[in-house]
């Protein structure tokens, strides 16, 4: 765990919530769920060592690599 990052990201997420909350209060539940679930996704992702982790780009690369290698010939 990198505590500094966790702390910073939590602070950032709280700031975003504080910024949006006044406007979000009047919105239906669906909007609130969408907002908080996206923020939660971001918070969870930020806990990992993202640059050195396999991501969607890596998966897509594994899937489409044969085409790319075909081109390089």
Partner 1 sequence: MLEKGKISAFQMGVMMYPTIIATAILSLPATMATYAHNDLWLSPIWASFAGFLTVYVSHRLHQYYPQQTLIEYSCQIVGLIPGKLIGFLYCFLYLMWTGQIVRNYAEFVVGAFLFNTPIVVVIASMILVCVFAVRGGIEVIGRAALLFMPLFVLPLCLMVLLLLPDLDWQNFFPVLENGIVPSLKGAVVPHIWLGEFWLTAFLFPLLADSSKGRKWGMLSVLAVTITMIATNLFSLFLFGSDVSSMLYPLMIASRYVSIADFFENLESVVMAVWVLGAFVKISVFFYVIVLGSAQLMEVTDYRPLVWPIGFLIVLFSFWGIPNMIVFNYLDETSLPYYGFFMQILLPLLLLLIAKLRNKPQRMKSAA
- For position 67 contacting partner 1 by CB under 8 A, the verdict is yes
- For position 53 contacting partner 1 by CB under 8 A, the verdict is yes
Contact 5, 27 (CB under 8 A): no
- For position 18 contacting partner 1 by CB under 8 A, the verdict is no
Within 25-55, residue ranges assigned H as helices are 29-46
26 token code pair: 């009047």
Contact 20, 35 (CB under 8 A): yes
- For position 50 contacting partner 1 by CB under 8 A, the verdict is yes
Distance between CA atoms of residues 48 and 54, nearest Å: 11
Q: Which of 2, 6, 10, 58 binds partner 1 (CB under 8 A)?
A: 58
Residues that bind partner 1 (CB under 8 A): 12-13, 16, 19-20, 23-24, 27-28, 30-31, 34-35, 38-39, 41-42, 45-46, 50-58, 60-61, 63-65, 67-69, 71
């Amino acid at each position: 765990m990198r505590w500094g990052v966790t702390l910073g990201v939590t602070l950032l997420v709280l700031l975003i919530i504080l910024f949006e909350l006044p406007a979000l209060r009047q919105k239906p539940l669906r909007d609130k769920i969408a907002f908080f679930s996206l923020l939660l996704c971001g918070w969870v992702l930020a806990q990992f060592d993202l640059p050195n982790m396999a991501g969607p780009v890596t998966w897509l690369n594994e899937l489409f690599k044969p085409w790319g290698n075909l081109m390089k010939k």
